[in-house]
Chain A
Amino acid sequence: MTLIRRYWLSALAIIFSGIVFLVPFSFIILMAFKDRTQAQLLDFSWPQGMHLWSNIVEVVTTRNWMLLTAFINSTILTVASVTLLVIFAAMVGFVLQRRKTRFNGLIEFLILAGLMIPPAVVPTIWLLQGIGLFGKLHGMVLVEIAYSLPFSILLYRAFIATIPREMDEAAIIDGARPLDVFFRIVLPLLWPVTVTNIVVQSVAIFNDFTNPLYYLPGNANATVQLTLYNFQSQFQTSYNLLFTNIALITIPPLIVFLFFNRQIVAGMTAGAVKG
């Protein structure tokens, strides 16, 4: 009895989150097993026959193995953008927090402006064309960094305020140069907020649809979200292939998160002095 009284709320929460997460996911998986005629009903039913393998083969080989290219591109895009984003945002946040100058107000205004003012597509393309980066993956990496930087800087700046200045001073007294102070003292201490940044930004960048659509034209540059359009059009959609594709591109990030789950949770709950 006491067990029920003590844990009923937790159990309710678990059941509720199970419904919210597992029902849509099982719908995707069930759809991936169906053939086209049954999938067209779009209902929650048990698949007639086993079509998963033929669906997977068709999805992966469509448009000359486009999905594989897309996975490579999306992985490079996400890893490169998030890595550079973390380093740059932490640096900006550190300097902005530690060094008070008369430009701070202006810089903070620019960061907030980056967060609030929606980016315009056509001028951005003109700029990319001007510096020869339009339709190139490294140009796209820079665009993603630029769009995500303000949010990351805000996260870092707030966190760095909680690290005592005395730590930097102690390091400097022990003979550390400025870059050493940042990379060897401060950056390891930022691990909790770095993990938050990595999780939030890699999900956002991996799932980005519109930016690659406009800034990365061409088949060689496809990202995984763009492959969904191989099976979906205005007047004709192959739901079985569409959902197989969704399952295929949802599972890798899911595995990565399951695998790194312990590190992520540990990072988020870690104390201030660590490393």
Chain B
Amino acid sequence: MTKTSRRTTLFGFTAALLAMTALSSAASAQSISMTYLIPSGADGVAVAEELVKSFEAANPDINIDIETRPGGSEGDNLVKTRLATQSMADIFRYNSGSLFQAINPQQFLVDLTNEPWQADVQASFKQVVTAPDGTVRGAPMGAAMGGGIYYNRAIYEELGLTVPKTWAEFMANNEKIKAAGKVAVIQTYGDTWTSQLFVLADFYNVSAADPDFASRYTANEAKFATEPAALRGFEKLQETFEAGLFNEDFGAAKYDDGLRMVAAGEGAHYPMLTFATTAIAASYPDMLDNVGFFAQPGDDAASNGLTVWMPDGIYIPQTTSNLDAAKKFVAFVASVEGCEAQTRAGGASGPYLINGCTLPDDVPPAVTDMLPYFAEGGQNGPALEFLSPIKGPALEQITVEVGSGIRTAADAAALYDEDVRKQAQQLALPGW
């Protein structure tokens, strides 16, 4: 090979490399192109795809591209990074409540207070996407969730049990299930976050006994350790452990195992948030009808009610270049057609927070069981994390200790109050 030809080859190769890298970023042209960033996962993607499809059918001049991101703390970092570098998608889905406050909504998100569709959004959702200056900056995406206890209907039928309205009835059911040689309560500390449910889902009972607890708690006047109503959540966890009701592998089992066990009847009760209904429907479709749901019982049957978690919101960053089209899409999501598209794609996992949205008749029993709490005469209230910005980061470790019999309820509540203090001081709340 001569010198020149070798050099030509080298230059040719370099040029080819540059050409390859340049080519691959060609963009497709359409009248308006937008991006919509959602957390990954097959269920969420299916819902987003159906929403986009219905929206594009109604607005043929707008084209929306769905992007996904990881969930959890990696996702939090990504969202903050992309907001800070002005590279956020035109519309994005993210948590409401305390995580929403952490992305600095006033600085980064478009104010949606005066949009016409806000009239149909329920007030309970608006308060969890309201920035500190009182402006509403998001629309609800998805259905409301309840925190409570999944139960296996086949076991209940076999043993002739009824859904408990008080904690005493619940423990009596557990004793009968245990006497029949079955696992009464499923716990899965392989995923530590699942251990918090007995404490978090008890909050409706706390606020029923003490309506001001959340505000006094934020002001450092009420404590888990000193308020008997609040301490009950920890005590309930301790009681179930001491009664020996758990599955044998409760320390190592994972969330997925818990869903399988309650669906297949390997255990009778699994305390969980109702978003798990979609996961059960996807993994164990033929066992879905075995699974029912009830709110975590309190001490008084008359004040039995459900602790509610708000769904994610969708938001528009101020950096978007397609503000009108983005607002159109958000308005579509917050409309009755939007709810219908979500139901078509993912099945209904609970009631929507848009007035006028209804659920189809063929929803799974776990969802039907949830509806009375939202209907006329039913009782529900938001979880503590939507009423107070304080949630200690170590709660899941503490509840694992209580649920494993390492720490007593009173001791754990005191430790959690201490854990919470650090976060309240970081947030610079008055009174701490």
Residues of A within 8 A of B228 (CB): none
B17 → A minimal CB distance (Å): 5
Q: A138 touching B22 by the CB < 8 A rule?
A: yes
Beta-carbon contacts of B45-67 to A below 8 Å, as 1s and 0s?
Answer: 10000000000000000000111
**Best-buried of A79, A183, A220, A221 by chain B (most CB within 10 Å):** A220
Complex interface residues of chain A between 9 and 41 (CB less than 8 A to chain B): 36-37, 40-41
Question: Given contacts A37-B283, A80-B20, is CB(A230)–CB(B87) below 8 Å?
Answer: no
Q: Taking the complex as formed, is A261 at the interface, i.e. its CB lies under 8 A from any CB of chain B?
A: no
Q: Which of B69, B78, B254, B279 contacts A236 (CB 8 A)?
A: B279
Question: Given contacts A214-B78, A234-B71, is CB(A37)–CB(B284) below 8 Å?
Answer: yes
Q: Taking the complex as formed, is B41 at the interface, i.e. its CB lies under 8 A from any CB of chain A?
A: yes
Instruction: Report which A residues bind B (CB closer than 8 A).
Output: 36-37, 40-42, 63, 72-73, 76, 79-80, 83-84, 121-122, 125-126, 129, 134-138, 141, 180, 183-184, 213-214, 217-221, 229-238, 241
Q: Which of A135, A137, A183, A233 contacts B87 (CB 8 A)?
A: A135
Beta-carbon contacts of B258-275 to A below 8 Å, as 1s and 0s?
Answer: 001000000000000001
Q: Taking the complex as formed, is B160 at the interface, i.e. its CB lies under 8 A from any CB of chain A?
A: no
Q: A236 touching B282 by the CB < 8 A rule?
A: yes
Residues of A within 8 A of B389 (CB): none
Q: Taking the complex as formed, is B162 at the interface, i.e. its CB lies under 8 A from any CB of chain A?
A: no
B: number of interface residues (CB 8 Å) = 48
Q: Which of A83, A134, A241 contacts B17 (CB 8 A)?
A: A83
Residues of A within 8 A of B66 (CB): 63, 219
Q: Which of A37, A73, A126 contacts B24 (CB 8 A)?
A: A73
Q: A236 touching B81 by the CB < 8 A rule?
A: no
Complex interface residues of chain B between 1 and 47 (CB less than 8 A to chain A): 3, 6, 10, 13, 17-18, 20-22, 24-25, 27, 35, 39-45
Question: Given contacts A233-B71, A236-B279, is CB(A63)–CB(B45) below 8 Å?
Answer: yes
| 18 further interface pairs, Cβ-Cβ under 8 Å (given A183-B10, A220-B24) | A63-B68, A79-B17, A80-B20, A125-B81, A126-B85, A135-B87, A184-B6, A213-B78, A218-B67, A229-B70, A230-B45, A233-B42, A233-B44, A235-B41, A235-B71, A235-B275, A236-B279, A237-B41
Question: Given contacts A141-B21, A236-B278, is CB(A36)–CB(B65) below 8 Å?
Answer: no
CB-based closest 5 A-B pairs: A233-B41, A234-B71, A138-B21, A229-B40, A125-B85
Interface Cβ pair total, 8 Å cutoff: 114
A275 → B minimal CB distance (Å): 13
Question: Given contacts A234-B39, A235-B255, is CB(A121)–CB(B81) below 8 Å?
Answer: yes
Q: A136 touching B25 by the CB < 8 A rule?
A: yes
Residues of A within 8 A of B18 (CB): 138
Residues of A within 8 A of B42 (CB): 230-231, 233, 236, 238, 241
Q: Taking the complex as formed, is B276 at the interface, i.e. its CB lies under 8 A from any CB of chain A?
A: yes
Residues of B within 8 A of A213 (CB): 69-70, 74, 78
Q: Which of A122, A183, A219, A234 contacts B41 (CB 8 A)?
A: A234
Q: B82 touching A233 by the CB < 8 A rule?
A: no
Q: B41 touching A236 by the CB < 8 A rule?
A: yes
Q: B17 touching A80 by the CB < 8 A rule?
A: yes
Once the chains are docked, how many angstroms separate the CA of A219 from the CA of B255? Answer: 30
Closest to B17 in A: A80
Q: A42 touching B40 by the CB < 8 A rule?
A: no
